Amino acid sequence: MTLTVYQYPKCGTCRNAIKWLDNKGIAYHAIHIVEEPPSKEELAKLVEKSGLPIKKFFNTSGMKYRELGLKEKLKDASEDQMLEWLSSDGMLIKRPIVTDGENVTVGFKEETFEQTWK
């Protein structure tokens, strides 16, 4: 099965994840997360399948996150509002997001990739 990788080419973490997949010979389809951000519906599915809290999907170190003051806003935001923000701008999304339709990883940790995508 081919993985889907939502990534940003200039992101070092994304490049490391792609390199890891390439080295393991794992097939994937890369999607530029800024040019084609996942829809609100897609994000809701990814969050659900990941088992992670939705806040883990935010790129908290990004300029856009800070510009919008999301650290404070997230405290009182509904899940629907958070999905709206995430789907509105790919730069707000922590990356890479890798999925096979059932499993989802967010970010790149070699141990997690080893366990999930071997």
Task: Say whether pLDDT at 1 is over 90.
Answer: no
Q: What is the pLDDT of residue 27?
A: 97
Task: Say whether pLDDT at 102 is over 80.
Answer: yes
| CATH architecture, domain defined by 3-117 | 3-Layer(aba) Sandwich (3.40)
pLDDT tens-digit profile of 53-88?
A: 999 999 999 999 999 999 999 999 999 999 999 999
Q: Which residue do the tokens 């951000």 mark? A: 37
Active site residue 11: yes
Please state the pTM of the whole predicted model. Answer: 0.95
- Say which of 5, 11, 17, 43 is annotated catalytic: 11
**Residue among 14, 91, 80, 3 nearest 47 (CA):** 80
The pair of three-digit structure tokens given for residue 62, joined into one six-digit string: 């990004």
pLDDT tens-digit profile of 13-62?
A: 999 999 999 999 999 999 999 999 999 999 999 999 999 999 999 999 99
Q: Domain residue spans in the chain? A: 3-117
